[in-house]
Structure 1
């Protein structure tokens, strides 16, 4: 009996994810011909067809999808084995792949990277940015070691570590037409007055929850794809919005076009780490959490 190799399984995972032989081969840094041979050898070893091939498309068979799920589990277990090996190294040394959401990464990294380089010079840090759903999927597939995101976020088979609260602030255009000089009250603002990020951004969900936005009519039909776009929309007085306190370090807040106010209630998102349950690097991830808190404590009032 010939067992599949890790290389063959890795190639097959890439094929399912890219659904294209050429793109999958490129992602694995091999020629398409060598890639195709490896997939065929995998099918021969398993005794079944994993994909239907045509000139224009790749269709994963039912068997292929079952094998793909099993392969993800195998890769996760292999990652655990590597984690175990890393446990013999000094803490926070060697390769560490960290996923971050785009509404955290740009505000944490300028302080965190110099601190980690000074405190843990042997660390080989890889940063990957993406939405919460994407980095969580990459974590569970073994592509990432740990992720930094805003909580709460529904996840399974992970351990989480809450780090600090990131409070929301109200932003509005100077002399805006929405508040009319009054303090913000969700019941007083008009329909379509609140600007938020697009669906799929967890910051949108956290703002809706933390700021008690229960009436969807209060939310504008216009949405933003990034915090920068959101601030520009506020500058144009298309509405008011909520911004995480850590984002106030951005240079475009240092002008007279955007007004920043504290809210009358305590609205926040919680910043935390998550990693696969049972990881042997749990102690290191707690150390990483301490480093993140230390690196940003001058920028935020943590509680």
Structure 2
């Protein structure tokens, strides 16, 4: 009697990726393999189970009833295996192995290059996979295990997360160069009353923060013209469509000497406006000490390279 093929963690991971993306190409990218290789893994899983787990059609891909049952258990198996790996890595000390880090487009591109360079020089055994998505997706993906740790604007919503606060990042008021307020070196709070303010879409924490600022200062948030990125927001400001609050890391990277051709940035006189940024991971993670080490490295990089940031003190 022939023996049934074994089910592997790779096969289960591929099934999870397909279910979560509902797209073979994106699932293959997440798994770090080609589409044919991913299809082969799914076919081997179906062969081992003796049942079809996916339905493929022109409309996309969906799980069969048995596929949904397998998926529910696959997540537990893969998470359990990862927890064992995490404990093994933690027992050896230092930073090594693979860490999946999620970040948002308003933060990662302007902070991580220096951080990644530092980590690579010091920890040759560490592989850091960086995944960029919206803040709301980051927290959801962290909770379900797609990320090990996320770099995020605070606060987060789940009590199942550990938050290590890194720094407070100033927000500057951006104006078109021909805006009436652009001639002032400092903008008074009273100048903001009635000011038209642009923001990112609601999927970003910055949207909620800007909305609160507009209510506090009596400004008008233009909800019909929400940017999809900080670059889009900057361009709309340059066109004179409104003002915007831009994070200091973005300003430092993209707006030279506090001016970017079509726009200038100013502080609000007498008011400190910041967003808090932290490193966040699941409370159940087995590598908390490693994540705290990364948080400490980010703080050191921030102190050394980004003078505008108010960096938190390292815990004892």
Shorter chain as denominator, the TM-score bin is 0.7 to 0.9
How far apart in 1 are the matches of 2:19 and 2:91?
34
CA displacement, residues 36-70 of structure 1 (integer Å, 9 cap, x when unaligned): 532423543xxx65444557643323443343233
Who is 2:87 aligned against? 84
Question: Which residue is 2:153 aligned to?
Answer: 150
Paired position in structure 2 for 1:198? 201
Separation of aligned partners in 2, 1:63 and 1:213: 53
SS at structure 2 position matched to 1:250: helix
Q: 1:185 Cα deviation (Å)?
A: 4.2
SS in 2 for 1:200: coil
Shift in CA distance, 215/68, structure 1 to aligned 2, threshold 3 Å: farther
1:65 matches 2:51: no
Instruction: Please list, as runs of the form range in 1=range in 2, the aligned pairs for 1:166-185 lying within 5 A after superposition.
Output: 166-177=169-180, 183-185=188-190
Matched with 1:129 is: 132
Q: What is the Cα deviation at residue 189 of structure 1? A: 1.4
CA distance in 1, matches of 2:72, 2:208: 30
Against the structure 1 CA distance between its residues 210 and 293, is the aligned structure 2 distance closer, same or farther, given a 3 Å change threshold?
Answer: farther
Q: In 2 relative to 1, CA 49–157 (structure 1 residues): closer, same or farther, beyond 3 Å? A: farther
Residue by residue over 1:103-137, the C-alpha shift from the partner in whole angstroms, topping out at 9 and shown as x without a partner, is 11122123223322343343322222221233334
Distance 2:298 2:39 in 1: 45
Structural RMSD (CA): 3.2
Query: What is the distance in 2 between the residues matched to 1:39 and 1:55?
Result: 22
Q: Is the 8 A contact 1:11 1:39 kept in 2?
A: no
Q: Which runs of no fewer than 5 residues in structure 2 stay unpaired?
A: 312-316
Maintained 8 Å contact 2:139/2:156 = no
- Secondary structure of 2:165's aligned partner: strand
Q: Distance in 1 between matches of 2:152 and 2:67?
A: 32
Shift of the 55–170 alpha-carbon distance from structure 1 to 2, 3 Å rule, reads: closer
Give the paired residue count. 298
TM-score by length of 1: 0.83
| TM-score (ref. length: structure 2) | 0.80
Cα distance in 2 between the residues matched to 1:140 and 1:90: 25
| Mapped pair 1:97 → 2:100 | yes
Segment of structure 1 superposing worse, 260-269 or 270-279: 260-269
After superposition, what is the alpha-carbon deviation per residue over 1:65-99, rounded to whole angstroms, capped at 9, x for unaligned? 34323322322222111101111334112322221
Instruction: Give the Cα separation in 2 of the matches to 1:102 and 1:62.
Output: 36
Aligned: 1:189 with 2:194: yes
CA distance in 2, matches of 1:126, 1:21: 20
Alignment pair present for 1:280 and 2:286: yes
Cα distance, 1:133–1:54 mapped onto 2, change above 3 Å: same
Aligned to 1:38: 44
Q: Hey, what does 2:314 align to over in structure 1?
A: none
Aligned-pair CA distance for 1:148: 0.6
